[in-house]
């Protein structure tokens, strides 16, 4: 009887997926993969199976990955000190080479290989390949507390997307290949830029007109003042919660990225906990979902 009950439960879960599979049929789903789950082989394998499952189910996933902890570990090994401004790693000429080596090399190939082991066909690329991510230099300003004068901070080779050229992604889709993108871009002068992975994921999702942008992080989503999860937010809700301080700190740039993607034409953006096994499938293909959905 236990076996029959378990089989019924599994069948019920599978049947739930049907209307969602119909909703997302042939749609782009951009998934930003990051956080500490990246460093755990079992979690990477689980994530890779989810991505392969989406592909064979008729969706078209595009993966953008981070790699902050891996970059920090390599810089420490090389005795190169990191400094951050507003969560962005100041990147000089020596450091940008290390960033590209880790992101477009080690991490990118690990993620692509895991998806290949799961039975799909994935190819790792960076934003420099096919001029996928054209970048411009990021600048930040900070007010001097004594003089009250704004001064420009030089972050080095830190960039932001100025243009997403989707031709290489569409060519990969025609060949049933899943792109795995390292967040490294190229300037008009050929300079390499280190770009925040969340920002790249949002820009790629908007350029593709994706049905969903999933931002896998180390938190469950956006919380209210009582630390309860907010399951769904409109753009107006997000503006209000940032203004009153409910959304604060490191959550602000994530929410702003989601808002920009939605304004750019993405059907919805979700901030969710990537440490939960099969988080991608639960969010996309079940009634319960996970995290915080932001949409117009």
CA distance 148 to 141: 12
pLDDT at position 289 over 80: no
pLDDT at position 186 over 80: yes
pLDDT at position 2 over 80: no
Over range 255-264, report the average pLDDT: 96
The mean pLDDT of the chain is: 87
* Percent residues over pLDDT 70 in the chain: 87
Over range 40-45, report the average pLDDT: 86
The one-character DSSP state at 223 is B
pLDDT tens digits, 95-106: 889 999 999 999
pLDDT at 39: 65
Which has the higher per-residue pLDDT, 181 or 249? 181
pLDDT at 15: 64
pLDDT at position 45 over 50: yes
How confident is residue 147, by pLDDT bands cut at 50, 70 and 90? Answer: low
pLDDT at 1: 44
pLDDT at position 9 over 80: no
Q: In order of start, what are the domains of the chain with their CATH numbers?
A: 22-295 (3.40.1160.10)
CA distance 99 to 126: 12
Over range 10-20, report the average pLDDT: 64
Which has the higher per-residue pLDDT, 41 or 29? 29
pLDDT at position 115 over 50: yes
Strands (E), the chain: 28-33, 60-65, 84-85, 88-89, 122-126, 133-143, 150-164, 178-182, 184-186, 192-195, 212-217, 232-234, 269-273, 292-295
Over range 171-187, report the average pLDDT: 96
Over range 118-133, report the average pLDDT: 96
CA distance 145 to 60: 49
CA distance 265 to 202: 11
Distances (CA, A) of 210 to 25, 192, 197, 201: 12, 26, 17, 11
CA distance 268 to 118: 27
The pTM for the full model equals: 0.88
- The backbone torsions φ and ψ at residue 241, rounded to the nearest 5 degrees and listed phi first, read -70, -30
Torsion of CA 241, 242, 245, 248, to 10 degrees: 120
Q: Which of 13-22, 86-95, 135-144, 254-263 is predicted with the least confidence, judged by mean pLDDT?
A: 13-22
pLDDT at position 82 over 80: no
pLDDT tens digits, 193-229: 999 999 999 999 999 999 999 999 888 999 999 999 9
pLDDT at 144: 65
Q: Which of 24-33, 76-85, 253-262 is predicted with the least confidence, judged by mean pLDDT?
A: 76-85
Torsion of CA 21, 25, 26, 29, to 10 degrees: -50
């Amino acid at each position: 009887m236990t076996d029959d009950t378990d089989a019924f439960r599994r069948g019920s879960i599978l049947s739930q997926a049907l209307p969602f599979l119909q909703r997302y049929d042939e749609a782009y789903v951009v998934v930003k993969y990051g956080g500490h789950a990246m460093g755990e082989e079992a979690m990477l394998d689980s994530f890779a199976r989810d991505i392969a499952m989406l592909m064979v189910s008729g969706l078209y996933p595009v993966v953008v990955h981070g790699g902050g902890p891996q970059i920090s570990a390599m810089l420490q090994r090389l005795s190169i000190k990191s400094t951050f401004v507003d969560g962005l790693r100041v990147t000089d000429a020596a450091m940008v080479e290390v960033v590209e080596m880790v992101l477009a090399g080690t991490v990118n190939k690990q993620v692509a290989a895991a998806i290949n082991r799961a039975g799909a066909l994935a190819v790792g690329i960076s934003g420099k390949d096919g001029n996928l991510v054209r970048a411009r230099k990021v600048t930040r300003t900070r007010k001097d507390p004594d003089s009250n004068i704004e001064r420009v901070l030089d972050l080095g080779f830190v960039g932001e997307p100025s243009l997403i050229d989707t031709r290489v992604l569409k060519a990969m889709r025609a060949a049933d290949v899943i792109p795995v993108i390292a967040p490294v871009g190229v300037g008009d002068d050929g300079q390499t830029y280190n770009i925040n992975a969340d920002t790249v994921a949002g820009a790629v999702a908007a350029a593709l007109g994706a049905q969903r942008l999933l931002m896998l992080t180390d938190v469950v989503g956006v919380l209210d003042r009582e630390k309860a999860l907010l399951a769904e937010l409109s753009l107006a809700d997000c503006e209000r919660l940032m203004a009153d301080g409910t959304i604060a700190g490191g959550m602000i740039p994530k929410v702003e990225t989601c808002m920009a993607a939605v304004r750019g034409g993405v059907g919805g953006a979700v901030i969710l906990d990537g440490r939960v096994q099969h988080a991608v499938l639960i969010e996309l293909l079940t009634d319960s979902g996970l995290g915080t959905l932001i949409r117009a």
